[in-house]
Structure 1
Amino acid sequence: MGTVIGPPLAAALKALYPSVAVQGVDYPADAAGNANLGGSGGPTMVADAQKALSDCPNTKIVLSGYSQGAMVVHNALGSFDGSKVAAVVVFGDPLNGSAFTGVDDAKAVEVCADSDGLCDRAGSDLPVSGSHISYTPSAEAAAKAVQAIIGGTGTGSAAPATSSAA
């Protein structure tokens, strides 16, 4: 799940939903992944989400990603039924403002730090800045936003299974 937002988001979700399952997506986070807009991780995210639904049909799927991982989320939703996604939460998304295919906009949380040139096109001329690695403090608010979208207290079928990409 990466080190900037993955572990803090997982911890914040587990505090709200003690039975949450969090699954990182293993993919090479490299220049090729940027060039193919998350294509190196999208199929794995889809497979992970499908397995979670197969194992537990009532689970609520939350897809999440940071930076290139956000592009993985976009890519995954190109071949995954967005109606099966309870929420999407992304951080530093280079495709910020682009729709998440099949997911209602009200179910999407997009966090873009001020002057993060990768997601805030108006905020900076620099593509990468310190702001791009500043998302750790946003984890708790993002988890609460997910809870506001999907509800529940973490017991039974209200606990989400989260598939995250770095």
Structure 2
Amino acid sequence: MIGVRGSGEPALQAPYDTNFGPTVGAIGEDLKSEGALVYGLPYEAAKVAPFEAPTGQGELEAQVWKYWRLADGSRAQAAEAARNLTAWALRFGDSLRGGSEQLQGDIITRVAQCPNQKIVLTGYSQGAWVIRKALDALSHLPNWNQIKDSISGIGFVADPDHLLAPPELPKGLEDRTSGVCAPDDPVCNPPFTAAHSERCFPELTILCSHLRYGTESTPQTEPKTGVQAVTDFLRKRL
């Protein structure tokens, strides 16, 4: 199992293995306990700066926050903040591209070394986008059919495909793919509502359902159940 963590999730997240983060880490732990080899992709996983209050770690973050909060500022202020938002978007794009390239290389190596192994992929939020981007690129390789045969399952958690239009999955993988999205998660289930605005913007909080997947405090009637559904799906695909 290759797990790809979401935006801003820490690479080191006890009790899970390095680079998993807390969301896909819960899936990895379950599969690992049953004998699967699990691996967390070591990419940047840049945070979604516009949705977070500044921490004082950088001017870019503060400027993006100003843009996000801007209501009646001058045109000059808006233009300045927009330029910084563009800079953040480029950094986020670099994170996606870097993760995609790492994942492509990892899959290519694993298939070359062991053509008969089964590979399952799981990604949370930005991690789901990384998986989509990587598979789209791999589908153009001459040995794509061999690679596709090795990918036996894909599990998405809060996949932003409806919000940000990442690449479609290559044909032939639909029946090997499952995912979960909380009904009030603005990232994977837009459009935005008043509840989204109150709980998720302009600052993400634990009340936002997008941050509640796999948390111990989440009731069984909320997204944690869905994360378990992804785990069960991938277990059957291994």
Relative to the length of structure 1, the TM-score reads: 0.75
Structure-2 residue corresponding to 1:116? 185
Please state which structure has a larger fraction of its residues in helix.
2
Structure 1 vs Structure 2: percent identity of aligned residues? 24
Cα displacement string for residues 13-46 of structure 1 (whole angstroms, at most 9, x for unaligned residues):
223x41x111211222225464468222101001
Native 8 Å contact 2:157 2:227 kept in 1: no
CA contact (8 A) 2:129 2:161 kept: yes
Q: Which residue of 2 aligns with 1:100?
A: 169
Q: Is the 8 A contact 1:109 1:142 kept in 2?
A: yes
Aligned counterpart, 1:13: 31
Q: Is the 8 A contact 2:43 2:95 kept in 1?
A: no
| Structure 1 letter corresponding to 2:159 | D
Aligned position for 1:162: none
How do 1:56-67 residues align onto structure 2 when only pairs under 5 Å count? Answer: 56-67=114-125
Aligned residue number for residue 133 of structure 1: 211
Q: Which residue of 1 aligns with 2:44?
A: 28
State the distance in 2 between where 1:12 and 1:51 align: 25
State the Cα distance separating 1:124 from its structure 2 match. Answer: 3.8
RMSD: 2.6
Contact 1:33 1:68 in 2 (8 A): no
| CA deviation profile, 1:77-120 (whole Å, cap 9, x unmatched) | 11223623211111111114863124421111121112110110
SS at match of 2:21: coil
SS in 2 for 1:39: helix
Q: Indicate conservation of the 8 Å contact 2:155/2:178, yes or no.
A: yes
Asked if 1:74 is matched to 2:132, the reply is yes
142, 148, 159: which is aligned to 1:83? 148
The amino acid across from 1:4 in the alignment is P
| Unaligned ranges ≥5, structure 2 | 6-19, 47-87, 139-143, 215-223
- Structure 1: state its 5+ residue gaps: 151-158, 160-166
- What is the CA distance between 1:132 and its match in structure 2? 0.6
State the structure with more CA Rg.
2
If each structure's strand is expressed as a fraction of its own residues, which one has the higher value?
Answer: 1
Q: Distance in 1 between matches of 2:210 and 2:186?
A: 8
Structure 1 residues 118-153: Cα deviation after superposition (integer angstroms, max 9, x where no partner)? 1101464648451111211233321111233x2xxx
Greater relative CO, 1 or 2 (CA 8 Å, sep 6+): 1
Where does 1:155-166 land on structure 2 (aligned, <5 Å)?
159=238
Q: Which residue of 2 aligns with 1:164?
A: none
